[in-house]
């Protein structure tokens, strides 16, 4: 069984653009189970079962979630596979594998990576012109800075231009406290992994933290992360390759948001 899951989830070019670049067609494993469902909760959490048999991660750990709702969402993803198991269509399972096999072993390092983004967050750096873009950035990003100021006690300063500008140490310290970091708390580890994923997908730890806190919806956070890109496409035309990549990454974003929704 371990070889099956390794074959399914390791060394696969999941990004469709990357797969085309390599000239690769993923070799998909045929579906070998009738039904996916959730087992009773145990020390490892609520396990995902295939025909009553546990699912293993690539590192041979149990695929289990800290809440029944999240485990059910994982089971739905497995049940949605038809004749073959396509890891490209299983973003929540891929994220779960990362949580269980990697983040759980080094939550402090993951939290530190998220914290690095706070020093040069996307929402700090504003265009000088044109006025339309300046207004769009302010509309999308000023409420995030206001939320950080009011809810986190972190007073960040917007910067005109792209040159690095150091933010107040007090603001950075206050915002870091909002990063899930309790290594002994499995729910914290899952939320940390989701925040880390959203941070890397958007380029903004503040957008990730606001989404985690319920201050933004996933569509709002995603739109805020692409203000500049959308503006450029409006001026110069659509970039279909970029949009295809964005669609793929949005699926990853939605998976992370599912974790935040089901792991309170």
DSSP secondary structure string, 156-202?
---EESSS--PPPHHHHHHHHTTS---TT-HHHHHHHHHHHHHHHHH
| Strand segments (E) across 14-169 | 29-30, 36-42, 45-50, 53-54, 64-65, 84-85, 125-126, 159-160
What value, to the nearest 5°, has the Cα angle with vertex 94 and ends 88 and 97? 155
Over residues 47-70, the mean pLDDT reads 95
Over residues 25-50, the mean pLDDT reads 88
Q: Could you read off the pLDDT of 109-146 as tens digits, one per residue?
A: 999 999 999 999 999 999 999 999 999 999 999 999 99
Task: Enumerate the CATH 1.10.3580.10 domain ranges in the chain, comma separated.
Answer: 104-262
Give 9's pLDDT tier (boundaries 50, 70, 90): low
Average pLDDT, the chain: 91
Q: Could you read off the pLDDT of 184-242 as tens digits, one per residue?
A: 899 999 999 999 999 999 999 999 999 999 999 999 999 999 999 999 999 999 999 98
Over residues 165-191, the mean pLDDT reads 94
pLDDT at 2: 46
pLDDT at 182: 80
pLDDT at 1: 43
The third-level CATH classification (topology) of the domain covering 104-262 is ATP12-like fold (1.10.3580)
- Please report, rounded to a whole number, the percentage of residues in the chain having pLDDT higher than 90: 84
Task: Enumerate the CATH 3.30.2180.10 domain ranges in the chain, comma separated.
Answer: 2-93
pLDDT at 44: 79
Structural domain 2-93, CATH architecture: 2-Layer Sandwich (3.30)
pLDDT at 27: 77
- Please report, rounded to a whole number, the percentage of residues in the chain having pLDDT higher than 70: 90
Dihedral angle computed from the Cα positions of residues 170, 107, 180 and 166, in that order, rounded to the nearest 10 degrees:
20
């Amino acid at each position: 069984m371990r070889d099956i899951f390794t074959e399914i989830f390791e060394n696969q070019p999941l990004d469709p653009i990357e797969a085309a670049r390599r000239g690769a067609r993923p070799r998909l494993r045929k579906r070998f189970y009738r039904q996916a469902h959730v087992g009773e909760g145990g020390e490892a959490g609520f396990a995902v079962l295939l025909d009553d048999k546990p699912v293993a991660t690539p590192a041979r750990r149990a695929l289990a979630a800290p809440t029944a709702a999240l485990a059910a969402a994982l089971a739905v993803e497995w049940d949605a596979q038809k004749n073959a198991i396509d890891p490209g269509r299983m973003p929540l399972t891929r994220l779960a594998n990362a949580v269980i096999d990697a983040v759980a072993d080094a939550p402090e390092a993951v939290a530190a990576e998220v914290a690095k983004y706070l020093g040069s967050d996307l929402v700090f750096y504003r265009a000088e012109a044109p006025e339309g873009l300046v207004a769009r950035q302010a509309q999308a990003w000023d409420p995030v800075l206001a939320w950080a100021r009011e809810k986190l006690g972190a007073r960040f300063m917007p910067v005109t231009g792209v040159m690095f500008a150091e933010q107040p140490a007090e603001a950075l310290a206050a915002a870091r406290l909002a990063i899930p970091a309790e290594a002994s708390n499995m729910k914290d580890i899952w939320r940390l992994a989701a925040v880390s994923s959203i941070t890397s997908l958007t380029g903004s730890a503040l957008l990730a933290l606001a989404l985690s806190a319920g201050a933004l919806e996933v569509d709002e956070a995603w739109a805020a992360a692409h203000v500049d890109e959308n503006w450029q496409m409006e001026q110069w035309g659509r970039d279909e390759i970029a949009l295809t990549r964005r669609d793929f990454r949005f699926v990853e974003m939605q998976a992370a948001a599912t974790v935040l929704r089901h792991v309170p």
